[in-house]
Amino acid sequence: MIAFKKVTKSFGARTILNELDLEIPQGKIVFILGMSGTGKSVLLKNIVGLLKPDSGELYVDRFPVHQMSEHEMMDVRKICGMVFQQPALFDNLNVFENVAYGLRRHFELSEEEVSRRVEESLGHVGLKGIEAKQSHELSYGMKKRVSLARTIALKPKILLFDEPTTGLDPISTSRVNQLILDLSNQLGTTSLVVSHDMESALKVADHIVVLDKGHLLTQGTPAEMQESTIPLIQDFLAEVGAP
Amino acid sequence: MIVRSLNGLGDLLMYLGTVLRSALGSWRRREEIFDKSLLVIQQSLATTVFAGFFVGAIMTLQFTLQVQMFSALSYLGALVTSATVREVGPLLIAFLLSGKIGAFTSAELGTMKVSEQIDAIRCLGSDPIREVIVPRFLGIIIASFFLLSFGLLFSFFGGLLMATTFSGLPWEQYLSQIPRVVSGFSILSGVVKCFVFSLVIATICTYRGYTVFGGAKEVGDGVVQAATQTMIALVVADWFTTFILEGLINV
């Protein structure tokens, strides 16, 4: 479980997360929705320790992330994989080396095991056979899927997605949504997905959280969201033509 | 303004401390460091040789006019070599390298930062300082030191060629007075400056790239800051190194 307890995060005079209280249940797919600049990505980066809360408490599994050092955070990052908004592939490495990167650093695996897991992960995202390609040879959508493969290769208990379907074609979007569902069903992975994509949220999420100005605006199941009378939720629903 | 500058200097020194600590255990990454050094040398060797050659040639032109006034043309080689090795050569070539290597490195690291590659490295279980910064930092120091030394050597040839063709001084005479003025200490002084300048370029340019926050505009700002701050730091480092070295020679 992930728990935010009165977490505040500011950049200069601008408060992004404002005493946020939020609990993410284990094994569920939770979509975080909200307008741009409401702190969705900042929320994810706090979970993996890329940013530190200014105040409040943040727990990931049994780890008190708010008071852990960079070195101690390695244990959290082993169980908590993050797929970034941008592909963030390493330009100087080919696809195989990119996907193998975390496997070699987090775990002590044989080369055979590394190869097997790289192949398996690329298979999950529909990109088998491109191991030797350099990142500049890939389209943006392919880069995003390789980035996803790099994260799921670590088999994390918790997966954090920062706008995973932005810039993807409908088929790739559908594949990524299906992958999130499969990982949750087969491995019991907790998935936390930051997105603007209400259509994907309604199809995939067990639970939807809506942030506004660093606060929790509302949360509930997709069915409950469709019944919501909150103007922001109605705007999101209108975008996808939902009733 | 002053407080902000001091804060910035403090952050830079803390960064340097972190990089040096990480660099202590970098022996096992020697191949990568060697590759980075080689890359920097390949990118900058021609420019450095070209610039070094002309620094020597320009110095000869300038000193020719001065020494002819005192009928002391035979001292031309000694004066040019001394000034170039101890002062002008390292500084001018370091300026050139800060523009070439420094801008490239800060832009590369800044782009890695804003495209979330640095964050990805942290999330995938590694330390970006050890993985990304240290090989570049040491690569720049090794390469800059080599390039500066090589540039100085060519500045000597530039001076010699200009003396024989423009100033009408036979090469034997140009060389004859050099040992009287250019001592071992002069050469040591040049070598120390080459090392100090390499450290300045490597520190500021990797720091400016690594601390970029934002997008493409901020990468551009980071590169500009890296270039200007490196040049100011080089001048200050030159003064400071000269001050210390001259102090040592007078002890």
Q: Tell me the nearest-neighbour CA distance from A106 into chain B, angstroms.
A: 5
Most B CBs within 10 A among A60, A82, A93, hence the mutation to make, goes to A82
Answer whether residue B71 is part of any domain.
yes
Average pLDDT (A186-203) is 87
Structure confidence at residue B251 (pLDDT): 66
Answer whether residue B21 is part of any domain.
no
Is A90 touching B (CB cutoff 8 A)?
yes
A90–B123: do the CB atoms touch at under 8 Å? no
Among A173, A96, A165, A91, CA closest to A127: A96
From chain A, pick out residues whose CB is under 8 angstroms from the CB of B124: 77, 101-102, 105-106, 150, 154
Q: In what order do the strands lie in the sheet with A80-83?
A: A80-83, A158-162, A190-194, A29-33, A207-212, A215-220
Nearest neighbour of B116 by CB, restricted to A78, A88, A101:
A88
Backbone angles phi and psi of A192, in degrees to 5: -115, 115
CA atoms of B59 and B88, how far apart (whole Å) = 9
Answer whether residue B87 is part of any domain.
yes
Is A116 touching B (CB cutoff 8 A)?
no
End-to-end CA distance of chain B: 38
CA atoms of A218 and A26, how far apart (whole Å) = 19
Most B CBs within 10 A among A14, A44, A50, A68, hence the mutation to make, goes to A50
CA atoms of B109 and B213, how far apart (whole Å) = 11
Mean pLDDT over each residue of chain B, to the nearest integer: 90
Split into its structural domains, chain B has a count of 1
Answer whether residue B20 is part of any domain.
no
| B177 Rama class: left (phi>0) / alpha (psi -120 to 50) / beta | alpha
Answer whether residue B119 is part of any domain.
yes
Name the least confident of A79-83, A220-224, B83-87: B83-87
A88–B125: do the CB atoms touch at under 8 Å? no
Write the pLDDT tens digit of every residue in A104-131.
988 889 999 999 999 999 998 888 899 9
Backbone angles phi and psi of B126, in degrees to 5: -130, 170
CA atoms of A124 and B130, how far apart (whole Å) = 31
Locate tokens 């199809």: which residue?
A203
Structure tokens given for A60: 């990931």
Burial B195-211 (b: 16+ CB within 10 A, else e): bbbbbbbbbbbbbbbbb
Answer whether residue B7 is part of any domain.
no
Write the pLDDT tens digit of every residue in B74-84.
889 999 998 88
Backbone angles phi and psi of A63, in degrees to 5: -90, 125
CA atoms of B148 and B144, how far apart (whole Å) = 6
**Residue A208 clears pLDDT 80, i.e. is over it:** yes
Structure tokens given for B192: 């120390």
Write the pLDDT tens digit of every residue in A161-175.
998 888 778 888 888
CB pairs under 8 A between A and B: 50
- B→A contacts (Cβ < 8 Å), by residue, are 115-117, 119-127
Burial A102-135 (b: 16+ CB within 10 A, else e): bbebbeeeeeeebeebbbebbebbebeebbebeb
**Which domain range does residue B176 map to?**
31-249
Contact of A44 with A158, CB cutoff 8 Å: no
Structure confidence at residue A241 (pLDDT): 67
**Residue A15 clears pLDDT 70, i.e. is over it:** yes
Residues near A231 by beta carbon (within 8 Å), at least 6 away in sequence: none
A85–B116: do the CB atoms touch at under 8 Å? yes
Answering whether pTM is above 0.80, one says yes
Is A81 touching B (CB cutoff 8 A)?
yes
B125–A78: do the CB atoms touch at under 8 Å? yes
Nearest neighbour of A88 by CB, restricted to B119, B125, B126:
B119
DSSP H helices, chain A, are: 40-47, 73-79, 95-106, 111-124, 140-152, 170-187, 198-204, 222-226, 231-239
Residue of B nearest to A50 (CA): B119
SS3 at position B222: helix
Percent of chain A surpassing pLDDT 90? 53
Answer whether residue B23 is part of any domain.
no
Structure confidence at residue B162 (pLDDT): 92
Answer whether residue B210 is part of any domain.
yes
